[in-house]
Amino acid sequence: MKAVRFHETGGADVLRYEDAERPTPGAGEVLIRVAGSAFNPADAGIRSGTLPFPVSLPHTPGYDVAGTVESLGDGVTSIRAGDAVVGFLPMTANGSAAEYVVAPAGALVAAPTRIPLADAAALPSVALTAWQALFDEAGLERGQRVLIVGAGGAVGDYAVQLAKRSGAYVIATASPRSIRSVLSAGADEAIDHTATAVVEAVREPVDVLLNLAPIEPEEFAALVPLVRDGGTVVATTAWMPAPGDQARGVRGAVIYVRSDVDELSQLVALVDSGELRVEVAERVPLSALPEVHRRAAEGGLRGKVVAIPTPE
């Protein structure tokens, strides 16, 4: 089979589109014929060695997958060959940037039927990040106010949609190129952070502050007074702690996304009911994935990219 792999950590140039041995599922695993593999920034961090995930070399990146079950390992009864599935794969295992990938059966759910199967790869880890930040960590409820900083990216798009659907009042910050998308996702207010100071634009306290942007710690801390007493600050920026205010009971927490098939099944159901959109900016052949990594390193990537294996 064809796969994109790196044999050493480094820049995007260490990635190779090459022949690799087709894997065999072990007990509790299934073999998936990949329809789509989503690129995530953490893929670049693992490839470069800046994210400390213990991967074996050569390594195939890609922890979001959508595809069709090809064969079953011993003991798998919850899935059948031929099922269309989607999942968030273990980040230390070989990933989905290949024609075939082995996955734990327990990490997979039925893929949405409303969208193309390849596009479903754009759902798992980013939508789970938004869900877990807003509801598992912050406990967002109907009628509350949430400020989502850096809402123009993939996680932000899901966060705005999910927060609005929950009945919250959503304030989102984005750059000019993303304002329209943020509003179409359901934001009640969209703040162009390049033109307006967020601390001045938010006029009433919020219950939840969710930061998705790589802002400086001082800038992040300056937003905490916008959170009401007893509120929550949540961040996905693992390299920087989420500030709080102990005197006012404002709690800070950093979210580390985890695989959760119950939550992923609920997200799939929302897609199929038309209540959650899946945005894919680009669909590229698997052989072009090294170029996607290069563009990401240069800051030239906009929106979610899904790599699609194509028969040779």
* Among 203, 285, 286, 259, CA closest to 90: 259
CB 126 within 8 A of CB 212: no
Second CATH level (architecture) for the domain 126-254:
3-Layer(aba) Sandwich (3.40)
Pairing of strands 145-149, 189-192: unpaired
Which parts of 11-168 are beta strand (E)? 15-19, 29-38, 64-72, 84-88, 100-104, 108-110, 145-149
| Helix H or strand E encompassing 218 | helix 217-223
Query: Domain spanning 2-123+278-308: which superfamily?
Result: Medium-chain alcohol dehydrogenases, catalytic domain (3.90.180.10)
Q: Which residue from 281, 274, 286, 289 is spatially nearest to 305, judged by alpha carbons?
A: 281
In angstroms, what CA-CA distances link 70 with 4, 62, 112, 201, 298?
20, 19, 18, 52, 37
Nearest by Cα to 259 from 95, 54, 110, 87: 87
Strands (E), 39-152: 64-72, 84-88, 100-104, 108-110, 145-149
Q: What is the pLDDT of residue 238?
A: 74
| The predicted structure's pLDDT at residue 303 | 87
* Predicted local distance difference test score (pLDDT) of residue 239: 75
With b for 16 or more beta-carbon neighbours within 10 A and e for fewer, the 8-18 pattern comes to eeeebebbeee
Cα distances from 46 to residues 11, 42, 202, 304, in angstroms, run 11, 6, 36, 18
Query: What long-range pairs does 215-219 form, CB within 8 A, spacing at least 24?
Result: 215/149, 215/150, 217/243
Q: Where in the chain is the domain with CATH 3.90.180.10?
A: 2-123+278-308
pLDDT the model gives residue 312: 56
Q: Residue 32: what are its φ and ψ, rounded to 5°?
A: -110, 130
User: According to the model, what pLDDT value does residue 212 have?
Assistant: 95
Q: What is the pLDDT of residue 194?
A: 85
pLDDT at 45: 94
Q: How far is CA 49 from CA 43, 205, 219, 286, in A?
A: 10, 40, 28, 22
Domain with CATH 3.40.50.720 in the chain: 126-254
Q: Helix, strand, or coil here: 234?
A: strand
> DSSP class of residue 164?
H
3-state class of 187 per DSSP? coil
Check: CB of residue 218 under 8 Å from CB of residue 199.
Answer: no
Q: What is the pLDDT along the chain (312 residues), one digit of tens a residue?
A: 999 999 999 999 999 999 999 999 999 999 999 999 999 999 999 999 998 889 999 999 999 999 999 999 999 999 999 999 999 999 999 999 999 999 999 999 999 999 999 999 999 999 999 999 999 999 999 999 999 999 999 999 999 999 999 999 999 999 998 899 999 999 999 999 888 889 999 999 999 999 999 899 999 999 999 999 999 999 998 778 899 999 999 999 999 999 999 999 999 999 999 999 999 999 999 999 999 999 999 988 888 999 999 865
